[in-house]
Amino acid sequence: MSDTVQETRGRILEAAAQVFAAKGYHDTKVDDIVSKSKTSKGAFYFYFPSKQDIFMALVDAFADLLENQLKTRLDAQASGIARMDAALRVCLDTFGQYRALAKIALVQATGLGEAFEEKRRAINERFSRVIRDNLDRAVADGSIPALNTEVAARAWIGALNEIVLSWVYTATPDPAESLPALRRLLLQSVGVSEIRIREFETQ
């Protein structure tokens, strides 16, 4: 895409994120997004065949953003458990910076039909696999004892979802403020030693 085309698409996506976050999926109309983006219906439908398509594109955009942030930060870590700690930080930081997108991806994609449910499940699987792979690495390098990393990864995803959902709905607890307690809980859950946990707490 040319810069102008990419810029217009991005402006429509940004406007859609703001409108969906404020009004919800069902109450949002294409006209609302067009007005917010200061474009036209023709421009909207050039990039997105329907309201559902732009909603799905936003969910994908947030998942891609989070995955790219994870890849950048995790690649810089040597040990499996350091990668897990970095992953936790990245997730909470990203959700904290992009509350509107988090609301769309985690809240509004629920209960909107099978297509949305399939998308939500696919994203959960995507990030569960990232966590499981790094738990496997931590087991392999001796950072944590052997355990069922599939179950542990899903438990980590569940805990993160609960913290973020509470914040999206009520603005509390703030993801950054949740980090120390959540980190301690999750690292303990996979057998990280108290000494190692304290090392992470002082970083």
Angstrom CA distances, 106 to 83, 95, 100, 121, 164, stand at 24, 10, 10, 11, 9
Closest CA to 160 of 102, 79, 202: 102
CATH architecture classification, 1-49: Orthogonal Bundle (1.10)
Domain extent listing, the chain = 1-49, 51-201
Give pLDDT, residue 111: 63
CATH architecture of 51-201: Orthogonal Bundle (1.10)
The predicted structure's pLDDT at residue 13: 94
Residue 23's CB: how many other CB atoms inside 10 A? 12
Residues with pLDDT less than 50, the chain: 3
Which tens digits make up the pLDDT trace of 102-137?
Answer: 777 777 766 677 877 788 788 889 889 989 998 999
